[in-house]
Amino acid sequence: MPPIKDVACPQCGARVPWTPASKFRPFCSERCKLIDLGAWASESYRIPLAQPAESDELPGAPPGDPPPSGRRGD
């Protein structure tokens, strides 16, 4: 078995084993990942579209959806 490589979490410096089990690698946890992504996003990616969650009642489909055609009487 090859030795497990580990990396330092970019956020807190904790050792993170580089294995598929470490879901958030190179971060040690989801928390560190979110912190880092958040910092990166706010620094480099200024998203001007800060739209409020106003229309969260989007209908999945328009109510007047026609039934699928192709119904033929036998």
Given the rule CB under 5 A, which residues bind Zn ion?
Answer: 9, 11-12, 14, 28, 32
Residue 29: CB atoms within 10 Å: 16
Query: Smallest distance from the beta carbon of 5 to Zn ion, in angstroms?
Result: 17
Taking the least distance from each CB to Zn ion, the nearer of 7 and 12 is 12
Looking at the Cβ atoms of 30 and 42, the one nearer to Zn ion is 30
Nearer to Zn ion by C-beta: 5 or 71?
5
What distance in Å separates the CA atoms of residue 37 and residue 31, rounded to the nearest whole number?
Answer: 10
